[in-house]
Chain A
Amino acid sequence: MTTIDLYRTVRLIRRFEERAIEYVRSGEIVGGIHPYVGQEAIAAGVCAALRADDLITSTHRGHGHVLAKGVNPARMFAELMGRESGLNKGRGGSMHAADFGLGILGANAIVGAAGSIATGAAWAQRRLGKSTVAATFFGDGAVNEGMLLEAFNLAALWHVPVVFVCENNGYATTMPVDSAVAGSITGRAKAFGIPSFTIDGQDPEKVLAATTAAVDRARAGKGPTFLECTTYRFDAHHTFEHRTRLTYRSTEELSAGWSRDPVEIQGARLAPEDRAAVDAEVEALLDAAAGIALGSAHPDPSAALQYLYSSPEVFS
């Protein structure tokens, strides 16, 4: 994975999110989104360390993870807009985007839930004779959920090839991490004997390096690694915040956050003309993607419960 590829990914996520926020405001996306703006380096770095057949699970703030793992932005936009051509045929939306063909087992709206799903999936893949690894993303809020801590125990005990990626963006909604976490975040994982590292989550190269080591370790049968990636959420917890105007962060704090912008950090590593070329390429890709999504059909209301059961005839 080259410097330019990492830049392309962070830039793609950033512009996808900015456009998605516009579509929330214009009403094309109903229900809002949890913007990933500011955290792009983590998704880019982690997914760059994974093979195409490796697995990920994601969170309510999952667009970046899914894009970095390689989904088609048109199908992702279409999913957010509830269209039949969406990743999940409009049945999942922002918080449940999944693409099983790309190893994306789904974003999950229950904080802390996906870590145990990823652990089971990674364990099962090994049982099925595959050499794949799973990476599971979660926030700093999730490390207080018992279910996730239980998953650390199972993963460590059974040497499951899973990488736990904590995106510490300083807040769980409005709750500052210092008011929520007794002890330390890495201490949670260390208690289970899981090697744990705190890394700069604004720098895609650093995330890539740390994840590569963790993935190698997992593939070698040595079990899980825990990565605490320190980052900052530049935008709202959820787009509803633009309406409710929650104030829990000072303007000074916000501008300090923006001063370490992953898009700029990675962009500065490129020659200006290369950077401009990638920017243009991303814009063209997203223009086309949005056009496809906006032009695609809404699901048929009579199919509202399609896919619920494997044997729907029993319920008729």
Chain B
Amino acid sequence: MPKLSYLKAMNRALGDELAADDRVFLLGEDIRVAASNLTAGLFGRFGPDRVLDTPLSEQAFTNFATGAALVGMRPVIEFQIPSLLFLVFEQIANQAHKLALMSGGQCKVPVTYVVPGSGSRTGWAGQHSDHPYSLFAAVGVKTVVPSNPADAYGLLLSAIRDDDPVVVFAPAGALGFREDVDFSTLAPVPLGVGRIARPGSDVTVVALGHLVQDALAVADELAGVASIEVFDPRTVYPLDVAGLAESVARTRRLVVIDDSNRTSGFGAEVLAVAAERFDLVARPRRVTRPDGAVLPFALALDRAVQPGRDDLVAAIRGVLEGDEQ
């Protein structure tokens, strides 16, 4: 089977949707030459009407996409760096997200926002290393963090076809990830449906994006100690609570690893859901960035702030010991 990389899978999804639906168009900075590679080859294939290089005007072009969506187009915006989402939080959270309700259902805003390279990009320091998916989930914007090439393809396709605004975070740590994929099986992956990345019976580890690979590696490493199930929600919002509940009903133990800040982050949400709904035999744990995290430049410091495999191992061990308390 051919290998497909995560980034190439997203590129393929964009190409397939541009070909399938004339209302789809791309806009963003340097996308004509595909500076990030996400849009490689698409300008040549679809031309300047469908692949629109924008000036550095994030706030205007984000609303521009909303305006285009209001009259029937399906824009996809590429943001070069995750911090740009802070610049356009108003345009996404306060405009695009709210217009359907505020108009009494008169309009739809099918815009997709893609960030190829979210989270720590080694050596890019404080203003390029955020991973703000929890922010968008908190305001109710559909938020997706794919973990593997097939999902990156399928979730991006579903995001573009969705009639609501959707933010797709492609973690920097996942972009180069390659997998054997039978291209004929590539298909849309519904938003809001998680998957069991690895079955197990003792602990459910919830992981997103690139951290799914870390969770799988840790599960292998601890195979002799415990049978670990890795649950990949794929969509942060809406969260597949039913899928998660099913997993936890079997394992009765829960750890979440989350590359966002501790307070009010995705990890906090998963633990809140657990407190409300799940019957656990041990207190759940979360492995996250620290509160108010700013990623420092020096590699050792950057790594110290990111949730990593060692922290995950410690949390799993803690949960396994917890039931003896």
Q: Does A59 touch B at the CB level, under 8 Å?
A: no
| Residues of B close to A311: CB separation below 8 A | 162-164, 191
| Residues of A close to B99: CB separation below 8 A | 106
Q: How far, in angstroms, from A89 to B73 measured CA to CA in the complex?
A: 25
| Residues of A close to B64: CB separation below 8 A | 116-117, 119-120, 123, 151, 154
Chain A, residue nearest B88 (CB): A147
Q: Does B271 touch A at the CB level, under 8 Å?
A: no
- The reply to whether A120 and B104 contact each other, CB–CB distance below 8 Å, is no
Q: Does A91 touch B at the CB level, under 8 Å?
A: yes
Q: How far, in angstroms, from A308 to B107 measured CA to CA in the complex?
A: 10
- The reply to whether A113 and B95 contact each other, CB–CB distance below 8 Å, is yes
Q: Looking at the complex, which one of A87, A128, A157 makes contact with B73 (CB distance below 8 Å)?
A: A128
Q: How far, in angstroms, from A315 to B106 measured CA to CA in the complex?
A: 20
- The reply to whether B57 and A154 contact each other, CB–CB distance below 8 Å, is yes
Chain B, residue nearest A127 (CB): B49
B176-196 residues at the A interface, CB under 8 angstroms: 191-192
Q: Does B66 touch A at the CB level, under 8 Å?
A: yes
Q: Does B102 touch A at the CB level, under 8 Å?
A: yes
Q: Does A296 touch B at the CB level, under 8 Å?
A: no
Q: Does B60 touch A at the CB level, under 8 Å?
A: yes
Q: Does A105 touch B at the CB level, under 8 Å?
A: yes
Chain A, residue nearest B64 (CB): A120
- The reply to whether B49 and A117 contact each other, CB–CB distance below 8 Å, is no
B95-113 residues at the A interface, CB under 8 angstroms: 95, 99-108, 110
For the side of the interface on A, what is the size category? 35 or more
Q: Mark A117-159, 1 if CB is under 8 A from B, else 0.
A: 1111111110110000000000000000011101101100100
Q: Which of B57, B94, B105 has the most CB of A within 10 A?
A: B57
A121 and B67 in contact, given A100-B107, A154-B61, A157-B55 (Cβ under 8 angstroms):
yes
A98 and B106 in contact, given A124-B71, A314-B191 (Cβ under 8 angstroms):
yes
Q: Does B54 touch A at the CB level, under 8 Å?
A: yes
| Residues of B close to A128: CB separation below 8 A | 71-73
Chain A, residue nearest B193 (CB): A314
- The reply to whether A110 and B90 contact each other, CB–CB distance below 8 Å, is yes
- The reply to whether B100 and A307 contact each other, CB–CB distance below 8 Å, is yes
Q: How far, in angstroms, from A312 to B219 measured CA to CA in the complex?
A: 35
Q: How far, in angstroms, from A92 to B140 measured CA to CA in the complex?
A: 18
Q: Which of A90, A148, A150, A305 has the most CB of B within 10 A?
A: A150
- The reply to whether B73 and A124 contact each other, CB–CB distance below 8 Å, is yes
Q: How far, in angstroms, from A308 to B97 measured CA to CA in the complex?
A: 8
| Residues of B close to A146: CB separation below 8 A | 59
Q: List 18 A-B contacts (CB under 8 A).
A: A88-B104, A89-B104, A106-B99, A106-B103, A108-B95, A116-B63, A117-B63, A123-B64, A128-B73, A147-B63, A150-B61, A154-B57, A154-B61, A307-B100, A308-B140, A311-B164, A314-B238, A315-B192
What 10 A-B pairs are tightest by C-beta distance, nearest first? A120-B67, A120-B64, A150-B60, A89-B104, A310-B163, A116-B63, A121-B67, A124-B68, A88-B104, A307-B105
